[in-house]
Amino acid sequence: MGKKIIISLYLASIFISSLHAQDIFIPDLNTAINGSGWKGKFVSTELAKKDSAEALIITKTDGDDLIWLDGFKFTNGIIEFDAKGKSGPPQSSFVGIAIRVVDENTYDAIYFRPFNFRSPNPVNKSHAVQYISHPDWTWKRLRDENPGEYEKGIEPAPNGDEWFHAKIVVQKPEVKVYVNSANKPSLVVNELSNRIDGSVGLWCNEFGMIANLKIKQ
């Protein structure tokens, strides 16, 4: 066997190994309704369809609510999902995901404010996507102490009443948020918690829809 063939086979084996090294997990959103495999709760949820996929509609919350995967541990990787909210009225829809989840009080989250996506007010528009780290770093504290650092606008801005795709790239300590087909991240932050792992959850306030959740690590 020639040297070139041996090298080619070796490189191919490395490539195949790298593919298997990244496990892809697709949570069952059907079970989020009855809590099977999930912890936490939303006040009111129902199921719908987005194309051929199940979509979870969160129609009512009790403030900042989340559900998270029971017994799941996420370190670094990529979380992708489709989400939909409302363009109005203001404060009507906050939707995203949580990472490093310990319980309902201790987690980091990346969420969207669809009512701000295309706001004519440039200040509001700059508050389209947000990172928080509870319990210490709420959105209010971050906005007061670090204005413009942990929340940004999205360009090109999605329609606040339509589905959009989000890709969250987590490589401790950095988190990058990409929206739709953008090559440039809308938000880049360093995590504010010292946790290196924890569960992944769905986060919502008021109203939101999520489908096609996929976790790669």
**Amino acid 35: pLDDT:** 84
> Quick one: pLDDT band at residue 3, thresholds 50, 70, 90?
low
> Quick one: pLDDT band at residue 53, thresholds 50, 70, 90?
confident
> Quick one: pLDDT band at residue 51, thresholds 50, 70, 90?
confident
Helix (H, G, I), strand (E, B) or coil at 48: strand
Across-strand partners of 82? 165, 211
**Amino acid 64: pLDDT:** 86
The answer on pLDDT for 36 being more than 50 is yes
- The domains found in the chain, sorted by start residue, are 23-216 (2.60.120.560)
**Amino acid 20: pLDDT:** 47
The answer on pLDDT for 5 being more than 70 is no
**Mean pLDDT value across residues 118-138:** 98
Residues 189-217: b if buried by 16+ CB within 10 A, e if exposed: bebbbebeebbbbbbbbbbbbbbbbebbb
Q: Which of 10-19, 59-68, 166-175, 200-209 has the lowest mean pLDDT?
A: 10-19
**Mean pLDDT value across residues 66-84:** 97
**Mean pLDDT value across residues 156-171:** 98
**Amino acid 96: pLDDT:** 98
Which amino acid does the sequence have at 199?
A: S
How far apart are the C-alpha atoms of 116 and 108, rounded to whole Å? 21
How far apart are the C-alpha atoms of 142 and 117, rounded to whole Å? 20
- The overall average pLDDT reported for the chain is 91
**Amino acid 185: pLDDT:** 98
> Quick one: pLDDT band at residue 8, thresholds 50, 70, 90?
very low
**Amino acid 146: pLDDT:** 98
**Amino acid 34: pLDDT:** 84
pTM of the model: 0.89
Rg of the chain over Cα atoms, rounded to whole angstroms, equals 19
* DSSP one-letter code for 87: S
Contact 91, 116 (CB under 8 A): no
Contact 167, 69 (CB under 8 A): no
**Amino acid 2: pLDDT:** 56
